[in-house]
Amino acid sequence: MSHKAGFVSIIGKPNAGKSTLMNALVGEKMSIITPKAQTTRHRIMGIVNDEDHQIIFSDTPGVIVPKYTLQESMMNFVEGSLIDADIILFVTDIHEKYDESDVLDKLRKTSSPVAVLINKIDKSTEEEVKEKMEFWKEKLNPEAIFAMSALLGYNVPPILTYIKDKLPIHPPYYEKDELTDKSMRFFVSEIIREKIFKLYDKEIPYSTEVVVTSYKEEPKITRIAAEIIVERDSQKNILIGKAGAMIKKVGTYARQDIEEFIDGKVFLELFVKVIPDWRSKKNHLKRFGYDD
Ligand code: GDP
Ligand code: K
Ligand code: MG
* Average pLDDT rounded to a whole number, residues 82-92: 82
The finding on whether 15 has its CB within 6 A of some atom of ligand 1 is yes
Predicted-complex ipTM score: 0.98
DSSP string, 148-181: -BTTTTBTHHHHHHHHHHHPPB---SS-TT---S
pLDDT band at 79 (very low <50, low <70, confident <90, very high): low
What is the per-residue pLDDT for 137?
A: 96
Report which of 198, 232, 225 is spatially closest to residue 211, judged by C-alpha positions. 225
Q: State which of 11, 20, 96, 132 you would mutate to test the pocket of ligand 1, scoring each by most atoms of that ligand within 8 A of its C-beta.
A: 20
Mean of the pLDDT values across residues 83-103? 83
pLDDT of residue 268: 98
Annotated binding residues = 12-19, 59-63, 119-122
Residues 61, 65, 71, 72: is their CA dihedral positive or negative?
positive
Confidence of residue 28 (pLDDT cuts 50, 70, 90): low
| Residue 66 pLDDT class (50, 70, 90 cuts) | very low
Terminal alpha carbon distance of the chain: 36
| Bridge partner list, 53 | 4, 50
Residue 32 has pLDDT above 50, yes or no: no
Ligand 3 center–CA 188 separation, angstroms: 16
CA distance 118 to 100: 17
| Ligand 1 center–CA 240 separation, angstroms | 29
Please give the share of the chain, as a percent, with pLDDT higher than 90.
Answer: 42
Smallest Cα–Cα separation from 5: which of 63, 65, 64, 48?
Answer: 48
Ligand nearest to the CA of 35: 1
pLDDT tens for 166-215 read 999 998 876 665 544 455 777 788 889 889 988 998 678 888 888 888 88
pLDDT at residue 177 in the model = 57
Q: Are residues 94 and 124 in contact, defined by beta-carbon separation less than 8 angstroms? A: yes
Q: Whose CA is nearest to atom 9 of ligand 1?
A: 17
**Residue bearing the bigger pLDDT, 282 or 87:** 87
In the predicted structure, residue 9 carries a pLDDT above the cut 70: yes
pLDDT at 62 over 60: no
Task: Quote the CA–CA distance of 29 and 32 in Å, as a whole number.
Answer: 7
Q: Which residues pair with 144 in a beta bridge?
A: 115
The CATH homologous superfamily for domain 4-166 is P-loop containing nucleotide triphosphate hydrolases (3.40.50.300)
Tally the residues of the chain.
292
Residue spans of the domains in the chain: they are: 4-166, 184-287
**Given this chain, do its domains 4-166 and 184-287 carry the same CATH topology?**
no
Name the DSSP class of 59: E
Higher pLDDT, 21 or 1: 21
Which one, of 2, 181, 6, lies nearest residue 85 by Cα?
6
CATH level 2 (architecture), domain 184-287: 2-Layer Sandwich (3.30)
State phi, psi for 245 to the nearest 5 degrees.
Answer: -65, -40
Residue 64: the pLDDT is 39
Q: How far apart are CA 93 and CA 98, in angstroms?
A: 10
- Answer yes or no: are the C-beta atoms of 21 and 117 closer than 8 Å: yes
- Give the mutation target among 21, 25, 33, 92 for probing the ligand 1 site: most ligand atoms within 8 A of CB: 33
